[in-house]
């Protein structure tokens, strides 16, 4: 996420009424302006792509809320931390889509901190109005957890680089315009050196995007092949050879998404409603009692996640955040999301499990059976939560290294 360090309001003391009025203003606008069909899709856990995200991004940008976490000078709202969190809470409560993270939460802050004035002017406004869609080209077949082993090469030839290599697991590449990409510009003694961050437009000749279907049969990740792709040196973000620093800056923020916790709390509410329905229909039983215990544990865990997030973003703002806290939050949220979706699966799945494939007959969005089916899809999709953005084992390594110097 990006923190509005530069907001003029950052140190201003505001009373509870101010935040309640703010919450009411958000609620009123979002309720009136988010299309009902979009809210129905979010409420029923449907997967979304650019088409859906872009509708909401345009509406928010027109209102001036297109970049809630960005400073005013870059077109953001300049909201303080509490406003930022209230925004995510209201958005989740009302089942509005999250704002698409690759531009706003990931590469946008990197460009703000390390990009040239020309790059800021070229890229940032198009992230806010949603006209340019980014994806992340980090992982390679031989470089996932060990990202610094990446081999995709970029050789400087006058005013451009010639890029060759392969990326994998690239989320939403099939609908993105541009990929922020870690490439190797030189081989140095330490593998973290010689890495460069390039913005590669995806319509450039020499790029091939092949779909990968995940366990839930959704197509959102891809392989991206790059063969003699010419990329202007103007698209090198920051200094050549120091991309590892920007990549890490970005990953720490990726693991600290302010939207994640309110969305989990919203899903918990849905599972609670499902469980209460089962209790009403079937009466108490040992298995429903056990489910109730799991629900209470998940609720306590969600409170823990909220506290962790608030303290992490406060530290981020003060410049004292350590990677271990982002990693701890990522680890905790991944486990929690899997606990919630597993509980939903256990409560709804058995009779629906054979009907999960995309060629199922159409069910109207919001139909009770459709809702249950989407819960099962979410269960399957959330298996990836402990992998994407760095696996749980890797998060534990980061935490151990920082705490114990291991």
Look at residues 342, 324, 322, 314 and name the one whose alpha carbon lies nearest to residue 395: 324
Shortest Å, Cβ 350 to ligand FAD: 25
d(CA 394, CA 375): 28
What DSSP assignment string belongs to 229-244? EEEEGGGEESSTTBHH
d(CA 10, CA 240): 33
Shortest Å, Cβ 381 to ligand FAD: 8
Shortest Å, Cβ 126 to ligand FAD: 19
CA torsion 358→364→368→369, rounded to 10°? Answer: -30
Is the CB of 164 or the CB of 391 nearer to ligand FAD?
Answer: 391
Per-residue exposure over 240-263, b if at least 16 CB sit within 10 Å of its own CB, e if not: bbbbbbbbebbbbbbbbbbbbbbb
Is the CB of 40 or the CB of 388 nearer to ligand FAD?
Answer: 388
Is the CB of 105 or the CB of 389 nearer to ligand FAD?
Answer: 389
Is the CB of 194 or the CB of 390 nearer to ligand FAD?
Answer: 390
How many Å separate Cα 201 from the centre of its chain? 21
How far is the CA of 193 from the CAs of 119, 147, 190, 236, in angstroms? 23, 12, 6, 16
Q: What is the CA radius of gyration of the chain?
A: 22
Shortest Å, Cβ 105 to ligand FAD: 13
Q: What residues contact 209, with CB distance under 8 A and at least 6 apart?
A: 170, 173, 174, 202, 222, 223, 224, 225
Footprint of ligand FAD on this chain (CB under 6 A)?
135-139, 144-145, 169-171, 214, 221, 384, 387-391, 393-394, 397
CB 305 within 8 A of CB 261: yes
Shortest Å, Cβ 102 to ligand FAD: 8
d(CA 173, CA 100): 13
Is the CB of 87 or the CB of 382 nearer to ligand FAD?
Answer: 382
Shortest Å, Cβ 222 to ligand FAD: 9
Shortest Å, Cβ 328 to ligand FAD: 16
Count of residues making up the chain: 406
Shortest Å, Cβ 212 to ligand FAD: 9
What DSSP assignment string belongs to 77-120? ----HHHHHHHHHHHHHTTPPPPPHIIIIIIHHHHHHHS-HHHH
Is the CB of 109 or the CB of 389 nearer to ligand FAD?
Answer: 389
> Closest CB to ligand FAD belongs to which residue?
144
Is the CB of 369 or the CB of 393 nearer to ligand FAD?
Answer: 393
Is the CB of 292 or the CB of 387 nearer to ligand FAD?
Answer: 387
């Amino acid at each position: 996420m990006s923190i509005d360090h530069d907001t003029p309001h950052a140190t201003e003391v505001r009373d509870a009424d101010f935040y309640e009025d703010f919450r009411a203003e958000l609620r009123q606008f979002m309720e009136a302006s988010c299309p009902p069909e979009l809210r129905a899709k979010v409420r029923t856990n449907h997967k979304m792509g650019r088409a859906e995200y872009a509708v909401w991004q345009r509406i928010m940008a027109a209102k001036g809320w297109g970049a809630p976490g960005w400073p005013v000078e870059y077109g953001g709202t300049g909201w303080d931390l509490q406003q930022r969190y209230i925004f995510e809470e209201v958005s989740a409560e009302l089942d509005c889509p999250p704002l698409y993270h690759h531009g706003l939460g990931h590469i946008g802050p990197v460009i703000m901190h390390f990009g040239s004035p020309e790059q800021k002017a070229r890229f940032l406004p198009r992230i806010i109005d949603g006209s340019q869609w980014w994806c992340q080209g980090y992982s390679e077949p031989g470089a996932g957890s060990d990202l610094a082993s990446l081999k995709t090469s970029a050789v400087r030839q006058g005013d451009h680089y010639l890029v060759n290599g392969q990326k994998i697991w690239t989320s939403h590449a099939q609908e993105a315009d541009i990929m922020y990409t870690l490439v190797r510009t030189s081989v140095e003694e330490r593998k973290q050196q010689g890495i460069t961050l390039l913005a590669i437009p995806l319509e450039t000749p020499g790029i091939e995007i092949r779909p990968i279907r995940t366990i839930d049969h959704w197509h959102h990740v891809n392989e991206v092949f790059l063969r003699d792709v010419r990329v202007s040196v103007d698209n090198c973000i920051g200094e050549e050879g120091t991309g590892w620093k920007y990549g890490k800056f970005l990953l720490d923020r990726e693991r600290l998404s302010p939207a994640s916790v309110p969305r989990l709390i919203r899903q918990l509410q849905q599972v609670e409603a499902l469980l209460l329905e089962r209790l009403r229909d079937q009466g108490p039983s040992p298995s429903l009692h056990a489910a109730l215990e799991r629900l209470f544990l998940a609720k306590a865990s969600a409170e823990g996640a909220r506290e962790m997030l608030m303290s992490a973003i406060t530290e981020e703002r003060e410049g004292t955040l350590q990677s271990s806290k982002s990693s701890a939050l990522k680890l905790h949220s991944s486990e929690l999301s899997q606990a919630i979706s597993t509980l939903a699966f256990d409560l709804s799945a058995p009779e629906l499990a054979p009907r999960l494939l995309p060629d199922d007959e159409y069910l109207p969005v919001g139909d009770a059976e459709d809702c249950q089916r989407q819960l099962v899809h979410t269960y399957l999709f959330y298996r990836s939560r402990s992998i994407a953005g760095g696996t749980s084992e890797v998060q534990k390594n980061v935490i151990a290294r920082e705490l114990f110097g291991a």
